[in-house]
Amino acid sequence: MEQGDLTLMLQQWSGGDAGLHDALFERIYAELTRIAARHVARERAESDVEPHALVHEAYLRLIDMTRIRWQDRAHFFAMSATVMRQILTDEARRRLSGKRDGGIQITLTGIADDSAIRDTDVLQLHESLERLAAIDPQRARLVELRYFAGLTIEETAEVLGTSPATVKRQWEVARGWLYRAMQADARPAS
């Protein structure tokens, strides 16, 4: 798929060309499924989220956002990352409400070598990410794109309009910050 073609389709669709709906979905479905599959593969077996279900739910939420003027492919996939994060967080909250053991656990790959911190609650991650967003929105966005949308370093750089080297540096800093925040949250209150 040519990036320019998808950008043009997104712009025409957000400009009111409803006839592009089916063609657009066909063009982006494979990419959204790839992103969702990478994320779902990192979740524990307790989770019942399937990549195709995540894609369909995200897409349904995206098409309901009628006031968004899609700027380009990067804008669309960045918003997809946000929507996928919301879906996964909502699902974790739903599951947590029916459990007494602390809820669904997911693996935050690459956050640190400490295996005690690698398995983390998606709600704890969401709350830590919200705190990071309050002090550094760019790095929080980067984590959202890398972790929730499963974008590569290069794809993240494209979405953020920066270089892959900058994304790598910021990714390391953001992971370190989240590691410390979640480790502090995991300590029992004295």
Number of domains in the chain: 1
pLDDT given for residue 112 in this prediction: 36
Residue 151: give the domain boundaries: 3-186
What count of other Cβ atoms lies within 10 Å of the Cβ of residue 115?
A: 8
pLDDT in tens, 8-40: 888 887 777 777 777 888 888 888 888 777 767
pLDDT in tens, 135-152: 999 999 898 888 777 778
pLDDT given for residue 185 in this prediction: 73
Task: Tally DSSP H helices, then E strands, for the chain.
Answer: 9, 2
| Percent of the chain surpassing pLDDT 90 | 12
Q: How far apart are CA 151 and CA 164, in angstroms?
A: 12
pLDDT in tens, 33-59: 887 777 677 665 556 778 888 888 888
